[in-house]
Structure 1
């Protein structure tokens, strides 16, 4: 019986392993292309650089696994077979995006491609305790899943946005909501819902939403400034959320010297034609040329501009996005803000008003959930010996 050369056998095994990994990576590349929308074999070959034969073979693996499905070819006039097309089976699971804030709770169910299936929200009192607030959130989850025709068994992961500095799912440095500081929100919801849960600061999620669906899709360096009942900011660099060492990046607004803590005071007590105006009316009156309202908006913009300029000087972003309630004010706020920021800065990034209104947090939560799913799938592909079938089991507690 001939002897086996152990070095040669080991080398053959390594080559076989490399080829297996390469095939799994090609499977992943094609799947990621299909996540962007239905693709023909030709489109997949062109976008990945693989041959049509290789794409055909890979599709023959993805379809039985349950990740992909054939689509009906479009009718063709003339000779030749219609092009074969395939789609990502985004319906094999769903994700939850949740916004749990001082004044509202919102839940969105989305498929694994990010398409919203159902959304529901309710206003809540700022004085609501943690237990009551969480009960509202869980009730909305059940309502949203029912509206989407889904159940908790279909949920792969829930991502939650909430005020405060977040470390490993625990809320720190939040004084807005009763009994919220110190709460292990991730574990609490994981125990209640029975699915994997990730928690992130709400303003951090807003910048993810702007990069995904908002006014900064083409930018990789973004500062997002929330201007509403409170003022805060978040940072994206090189296309990734920047959280800092302990999750507290972007919290410049905590500095009293910055002027953000009391900036809203500039919009109170404004009287036009003998009547005190609401915030919305102030911006409307400023746009119409009412001097008291225009002066108030100018002072308010000046106060906000100090912090915006600090971010611009420190980070030199491509785009600054202004979100929150004030984003609906339009040019009556944007124009004085731009003027005051330019006076304080060396470089002058474009300042844009968000078009996502008050949905940026829940949409950012959906994006975070999808990122976790895709990241864990990529890890499973490189760590395992076979391409995994679609399952929530891809998400382990250690992975998130």
Structure 2
């Protein structure tokens, strides 16, 4: 007997949702476009695009953004997403603060709020704070939350020093509490996604974003354009990478910082820190061979990056050493959360 593989049945409703989603993402990417441009970009027929845009105009999701010059026939209308149609929210939890950024339907930031940290207090304090922000902006439809810990399917399962959030199913709790679309992401995964989008790098690059941070080192890894989470969603926890006979990368960082403080040079990277970071880069080179490794500007400067590259050449052939980039971690992190909130909002419609 031949086993027949059943393919999932695509209902007209799902097909319509998929068409609208492609048109949204195209308008988001291009800022504005004509029906013909959307049809060509998405491979959706012109009549289908016309019908979908008519529905999107009626619902207030899309608006006319201008009329092009005629090439002999009717002048083509240009469309754009209605910025005020819906709002999204990106929020990250850090040791010293909780930062909220409200975005419109085009992904543009309309407000940023810096509020006290809630990591020590736990979910109850965060819920109260989040409720205040949502009350202030009732049009929010999606929330992307960044946390300094490991996340699987919206549940935080590893978050050192902040045990009150450990095993907290943040996604399920807030979706039920606020009736919103919620995505929860590790801070470094969000940062590497944000950097990739802001830097306009070509698709399918392999990147590693390393941040020493306030809560210990972490890394976000993109391989061929996709975030790598690993079999147990523990990928990027570089604190545990063994480096020397008796300690790991986290312990190497702490020992170096302590030594620099004792020397009164806490603002400088010591030779031992340069070596520890070069060993980490060498490990990344030998395992994932990235196009670039990104560091936070608060952790190192250009001269430090050059020293790391030179030291790294002692461990791997210098032809394989990637570009070492200095970037703004907070900017990348918030942008990554904004994109996650925006895409979640568009997918959830």
**TM-score, length of structure 1 as denominator length:** 0.71
1:85 to 70, 78, 87: 78
Give the CA deviation at 1:174.
1.7
Residues 309-350 of structure 1 show CA distances to partners (whole Å, capped at 9, x for unaligned) of 112211112221113621xx4212111111122332242221
Indicate yes or no: 2:121 matched with 1:129. yes
The answer on whether the counterparts of 2:218 and 2:236 sit within 8 Å (CA) in structure 1 is yes
CA pair 309-108 structure 1, distance change in 2 beyond 3 A: same
The verdict on how the C-alpha distance between 1:140 and 1:339 changes in structure 2, with shifts beyond 3 A counting, is farther
1:225–1:320 Cα contact (<8 Å) kept: yes
Residue 262 of structure 1 aligns to a residue whose secondary structure is: helix
The superposition leaves residues 262-307 of structure 1 with CA deviations (integer Å, 9 ceiling, x where unpaired) of: 31432445489xx82442xx2xxxxxxxxxxxxx433212111212
Preserved contact between residue 89 and residue 143 of structure 2 (Cα < 8 Å): yes
Structure-2 residue corresponding to 1:59 = 53
1:170 to 155, 163, 167: 155
- Residues 154-174 of structure 1, C-alpha deviations (whole Å, 9 max, x = no match): 222211111222123222222
- Checking the alignment, whether the CA contact within 8 Å between 2:91 and 2:145 is kept in structure 1 is yes
Give the C-alpha shift of residue 84 in structure 1: 1.8
Q: How far did residue 191 of structure 1 move?
A: 4.8
Residue in structure 1 matched with residue 230 of structure 2 by the alignment: 244
In the TM superposition, residue 28 of structure 1 has moved relative to its aligned partner by: 4.2
Q: For residues 146-205 of structure 1, give each alpha carbon's deviation from its aligned partner in whole angstroms, at most 9, with x where no partner exists.
A: 3xxx31xx2222111112221232222222225222233334434544423221211111
- Identify the residue that residue 305 of structure 1 maps to in structure 2: 278
Aligned residues: 332
| Structure 1 residue 245 displacement after superposition | 1.9
The 1:139/1:270 distance shift into structure 2, 3 A limit, reads same
Q: Given that residues 105 and 137 in structure 1 are in contact (C-alpha distance below 8 angstroms), is that contact kept between their aligned partners in structure 2?
A: no
User: Where do residues 68-217 of structure 1 align in structure 2 (5 Å cutoff)?
Assistant: 68-73=62-67, 83-124=76-117, 128-131=120-123, 133-134=125-126, 137-138=129-130, 141-142=133-134, 146=136, 150-151=137-138, 154-214=139-199, 216=201
Name whichever structure is richer in helix by fraction.
1
Residue matched to 2:23:
30
SS at match of 1:197: strand
**How does the TM-score come out when normalised to structure 2?**
0.80
Secondary structure (helix, strand or coil) at the match of 2:100 reads strand
> Which structure 2 segments of 5+ residues have no match?
1-9
Q: Deviations over 1:17-37 (max 9, x none)?
A: 999987775554433221220
Q: Does 1:353 align with 2:326?
A: yes
Q: CA RMSD in A?
A: 3.4
